[in-house]
Amino acid sequence: MLKGKVAIVTGSTSGIGLGIARQLAKLGADLVLNGFGEEGSIEAVRSGIEREHGVRAAYDGADMSQGEAVRGLIAGAIEKFGRLDILVNNAGIQFTAPVEEFPIPRWDAILKINLSAAFHGIAAAVPQMRKQHWGRIINIASAHGLVASTHKAAYVAAKHGLVGLTKVVGLETAGSGVTCNAVCPGWVRTPLVERQIADLAVEKRVSQEEAAKELLAEKQPSLEFVALEQLGGTVAFLCSDAADQITGTAISVDGGWTAQ
């Protein structure tokens, strides 16, 4: 379905981003991976994707907290592959604290990586996509892009901003062959969430499995974690012809979290 297309997925050396990248490669897209990690591990992921799916996969370690680096990521992909069809803005970080105690450097870092990076990437990618008369911009927001939780001021603000940015870009590119949408996951069992489960288990003095169930019960009515394959499949759908007229919207993949 995506053979001949080129996709950038930010924050794709692990977790949600890597799951999405693998799904796009499975459908034939060439990839630019991005993210932090140990050099050998990243190379193993990159070369493994090439071998398994018969696509070209490159890696760019651009720092998503730096706007010029983000724009350089886009320019580098276009220079290397001659085109850019899909941009998945997935990179993100988290920190929790009451608003009056929230460290200013943490606030600044979360806004830069979770929101501003998407702005810079979109601004750099849209001209190329318009020229091709086809493009898919997919912002990985969160259930926290639609509702709030305590102690997550920066994350919730950034993700709400990302949903708003999605709507603006959807309007500005309407009719051009370019679409822009947000995907809003609930709890996904990523390394970040595993740490939250471990902390909760220690705090409550329960097993990790009991802590996981408690975490789900608080927010996610399905009582099931969202699978990486489900998120990858949602992104793939938004890249399909069936989604040509879906733009400027936010799709919840959250087991009913935001339906409450």
Q: Which of 76, 99, 90, 52 is nearest to 228 (CA)?
A: 90
> CA distances (Å), 97 to each of 100, 103, 221, in order?
8, 8, 25
- Tokens in use for 102? 């929230």
**Residue 117 and residue 121: Cα distance in Å, rounded?**
6
> CA distances (Å), 110 to each of 185, 195, 245, in order?
18, 18, 32
Measured in whole angstroms, how far is the alpha carbon of residue 177 from the centre of its chain? 22
136 pairs with which residues across the strands?
86, 179
Question: Please, how many CA atoms are within 13 Å of residue 54, restricted to the half-sphere of its CB?
Answer: 5
Any catalytic annotation for residue 155?
Answer: yes
Q: Which of 166, 217, 192, 205 is nearest to 36 (CA)?
A: 192
The alpha carbon dihedral of 64, 1, 142, 126 has a sign of positive
- Tokens in use for 57? 């996969």
3-state secondary structure of 140: strand
**Residue 228 and residue 234: Cα distance in Å, rounded?**
10
Task: Determine which helix (DSSP H) or strand (DSSP E) holds 178, and give its type and residue range.
Answer: strand 178-185
Catalytic pick from 155, 187, 225, 257?
155
Catalytic residues: 155
